């Protein structure tokens, strides 16, 4: 679409069959062998289908899988940092042949797509853990997920015949083609994307609004796919985003759009991955804060900034906007960061995640300098349930 940033690889992929082609494929799919997908693979099918994972048109074959781990690029040289894979057991793999078509189904047995198995290849779990997540520690949720997966990977193109009707957040479910159309209609040439899996506190709000000073619009793009068990639910988070946008953001310059992807918790590697996804949605800029997509103490606070230096900016295409640790300073009497505040930490209002959770569980609203009271009330109510 003229005037908008090109999708990664130059073309927005669409793997959704329509009309007679869909009807024929759906009828044929009923007679094929079935491969049952886990929740993350279901999310990945959706992301492939709508072009959010452009240029991928299916699950990775051997060359792409190893190139991503070894070089942070697809085998054709395009930057890519997270393997997108479909796994089966050894017994299941023995019953499947390369060149054979299979039906991909969810846990309820609903047929989502037809896939031609172009390759069967080994799932190198140790290598994937070390090279994508930087650790083999099973306490890391991304590593644990890798080892939950099965031992053989199936690679090949997918043709989606059925998108599951979602019950939640439908007003915010926009495909990349739709966000791109809306950006154009709004006249937004410079759009910044913000990734989140948490409620937005004052520091997040501050960096979003700093970014908004130099772009035309902001797309808040929260993950609503699979997250780890102790993350705040998407239902609660969405209420927090809605109340913030209603009260504190200019309505003509912000869009809230859900991201159906699953979290990987891969830190710096996932920062690149998240940037490329937002590029496909039409964003020209992407906010990268402290410890982006991190978990525990596995990554340095700014590793997600440094990894962008390993790529040619033109290869990535989308412009990262790096932000330091932000907080309210009592001396400055404003939100600020280590880049702009001259005062020592005794003047800063910062709270650990553990401290905030303790306050909320006790029904105590954190300081206004840390969190908007409307957001805190939603979180307190949720914790009572």
312 CB burial (10 A radius; 0-12, 13-18, 19+) = exposed
Catalytic residue among 14, 71, 106, 198: 198
Residue 1 confidence (pLDDT): 41
Low-confidence ranges of the chain (pLDDT < 70): 1-2
Catalytic residue among 197, 202, 290, 372: 197
CATH 3.40.640.10 matches 174-384 = no
Residue ranges per domain, the chain? 19-160, 174-384
pTM for this predicted structure: 0.97
- Cβ atoms of 5 and 94 within 8 Å: the answer is no
Residue 164 confidence (pLDDT): 83
In the residue annotation, 280 being an active-site residue is answered as no
CATH class of 19-160: alpha beta
CA–CA dist 147, 129 (Å, integer): 9
User: 302-355 pLDDT, tens per residue?
Assistant: 999 999 999 999 999 999 999 999 999 999 999 999 999 999 999 999 988 889
In the residue annotation, 197 being an active-site residue is answered as yes
Same fold, 19-160 and 174-384: no
Question: Which of the 8 DSSP states describes residue 82?
Answer: S
User: 117-172 pLDDT, tens per residue?
Assistant: 999 999 999 999 999 999 999 999 999 999 999 999 999 999 999 998 888 999 99
Other CB atoms within 10 A of residue 204 CB:
19
């Amino acid at each position: 679409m003229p005037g908008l940033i090109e999708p990664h690889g130059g073309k927005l992929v669409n793997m959704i069959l329509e009309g007679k082609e869909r009807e024929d494929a759906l009828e044929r799919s009923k007679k094929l062998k079935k491969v049952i997908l886990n929740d993350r693979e279901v999310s990945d099918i959706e992301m492939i289908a709508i072009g959010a994972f452009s240029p991928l048109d299916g699950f990775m074959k051997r060359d792409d899988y190893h190139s991503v781990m070894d070089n942070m690029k697809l085998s054709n040289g395009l930057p890519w940092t997270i393997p997108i894979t479909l796994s089966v057991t050894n017994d299941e793999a023995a019953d499947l042949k390369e060149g054979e078509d299979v039906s991909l189904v969810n846990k309820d047995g609903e047929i989502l797509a037809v896939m031609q198995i172009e390759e069967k290849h080994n799932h190198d779990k140790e290598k994937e853990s070390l090279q994508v997540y930087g650790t083999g520690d099973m306490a890391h949720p991304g590593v644990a997920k890798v080892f939950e997966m099965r031992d053989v990977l199936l690679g090949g193109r997918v043709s989606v015949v059925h998108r599951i009707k979602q019950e939640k957040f439908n007003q915010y479910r926009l495909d990349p083609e739709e966000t791109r159309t809306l950006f154009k209609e709004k006249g937004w040439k410079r759009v910044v994307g913000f990734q989140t899996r948490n409620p937005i506190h004052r520091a997040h709000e501050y960096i979003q609004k700093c970014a908004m000073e130099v772009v035309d619009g902001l797309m808040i793009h929260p993950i609503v796919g699979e997250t780890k068990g102790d993350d705040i639910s998407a239902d609660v988070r969405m209420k927090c985003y809605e109340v913030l946008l209603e009260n504190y953001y200019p309505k003509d310059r912000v869009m809230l759009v859900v991201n159906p992807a699953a979290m990987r918790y891969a830190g710096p590697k996932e920062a690149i991955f998240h940037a490329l996804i937002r590029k496909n949605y039409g964003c020209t800029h992407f906010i990268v804060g402290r410890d982006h997509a991190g978990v525990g103490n596995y990554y340095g606070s700014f590793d997600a900034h440094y990894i962008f230096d390993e790529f040619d900016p033109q290869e990535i295409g989308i412009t990262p906007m790096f932000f330091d640790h932000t907080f309210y300073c009592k001396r400055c009497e404003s939100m600020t960061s280590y880049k702009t505040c001259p005062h020592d930490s005794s003047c800063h209002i910062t709270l650990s995640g553990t401290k905030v959770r303790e306050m909320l569980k006790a029904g105590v609203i954190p300081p206004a300098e840390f969190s908007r009271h409307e957001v805190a009330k939603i979180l307190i109510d949720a914790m009572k349930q």
